[in-house]
Amino acid sequence: MSEDMKQAALDYHEFPRPGKISVELTTSAESARDLALAYSPGVAEPVRAIAENPDNAYRYTAKGNLVAVITNGTAILGLGDLGPLASKPVMEGKSLLFKRFAGIDSVDIEVDSESPQALIDTIARIADTFGGINLEDIKAPECFEVERALIERCNIPVFHDDQHGTAIVTAAGMINALEIAGKTLEDAQIVCLGAGAAAHACMKLLVNMGAKVENIFMIDRTGVIHSGRENLTPEKAAFASETDKRTLDDAIDGADVFVGLSGPNLLSAEQLAKMAPTPVVFACANPDPEIKPELAHSVRDDVIMATGRSDYPNQVNNVLGFPFIFRGALDVRASAINEEMKAAAVRALADLAKEPVPQDVLDAYELGSLEFGPQYIIPKPTDSRLLGVVSQAVAQAAIDSGVARLPLPAHYPLTTVAALLNR
């Protein structure tokens, strides 16, 4: 970033008040009677009601619209392990997005944990406070262990967004890009550069949506993950190929799809040139992608390209997913966010990109027109239809798969966050 932009970022976080979130009152607290109802002696009545039936916490407290955004600060954005306190601006930012896009209240919690088990135990002990838990910026492979254990121990949705949020948006864009290219997920030869949390989740979800695991070549710092390698983590072993390919250069030859979840400038022009006709390239490293779109388009005029950046078309942006996924899960009081709910979110996002784009979205991006095609395979984050479309798809999938404890709410489909907050 430029020096001006760096200073603007610091000023944004400091003024007019430090931070990006605050607590607000949702009921009157003006009179003596208000205070008597809010605290002693009136508060004793909901306490007794909850003690008698724990589900009453959803009636008498904010639990049902409250998500914890939790990290140990071991994998902060692209900055690495800088510790839990340094991660606080990112977690506050996540809370801001929950509120802005889905009307969900959230609290950021930064845990100074000496081990994955300590992190698991800490979160499990406070989980009853919340309606859902969003894990964030926890390094691999510990993130897999943490999420697995918490899903087993908690009866509320636990969702590691670095894994599944990225995977859901990637899968939606991938399905659409392949359709435009005249190809299918079932037949596509896929190269994934990177083998961390996001890469594993992306490939797992693509397989769940129809891709064949034998058509996927995952590459880590050592090279292609193949069946002859030893000491693989369980997550890597799931994608160990029976192949003699050993390098990215080997794997990319004739590939239909490249998914980059690694680092800058790791896909060369020469490698892109070796890909199959109408290649699909998701270069998602931030802030610098594995190959710059300008270079990619200069090499291949048939490439369909996505990145993690907002200044290029087809941004793989998690905000397209997690606010609305949690909204749908909370509103039917789901006990988990399962594979069916993730797949429903993928299909909802993919289908929305094929609908006519509203004028307010065009205005926000200063565009005269925008329609489904190589430059538009994923909805834009400012599209207000995301709230209704994705939330309803996720809620219905929770009901259909048996993890919902409430029926579809009468106020669905949702329209605007303002209407939701004023309900």
Quote the tokens at residue 111. Answer: 């845990």
- Which helix (DSSP H) or strand (DSSP E) does residue 190 occupy? strand 190-193
58 is catalytic: no
> Which segments of 181-221 does DSSP mark as H helices, in order?
197-208
Residues in contact with 188: Cβ distance below 8 Å, sequence separation at least 6, in sequence order: 178, 211, 215, 256, 257, 280
CB of 378 within 8 A of CB of 306? yes
> Which segments of 71-111 does DSSP mark as H helices, in order?
88-102
94 is catalytic: yes
Which residues carry a binding-site annotation?
136-137, 162, 286, 317
Quote the tokens at residue 349. Answer: 């996002």
The catalytic position among 6, 12, 39, 60 is 39
Q: What is the CA radius of gyration of the chain?
A: 22
Which residues carry a binding-site annotation for (S)-malate?
286, 317
Amino acid at 259: V
Quick one: which of 390, 417, 416 has its CA closest to 320? 390
> Which segments of 136-191 does DSSP mark as H helices, in order?
142-153, 161-180
Quick one: which of 114, 117, 173 has its CA closest to 308? 173
CA angle, residues 90, 165, 312, in degrees to nearest 5: 80
The catalytic position among 6, 20, 60, 94 is 94
Residues in contact with 314: Cβ distance below 8 Å, sequence separation at least 6, in sequence order: 173, 304, 305, 306, 307, 375, 376, 377, 378
Query: What residues are paired with 258 via a beta bridge?
Result: 191, 281
CA atoms of 418 and 101, how far apart (whole Å):
10
Quote the tokens at residue 38. Answer: 């809010």
Residues in contact with 163: Cβ distance below 8 Å, sequence separation at least 6, in sequence order: 143, 147, 197, 198, 200, 201
Q: Which residues are catalytic?
A: 39, 94
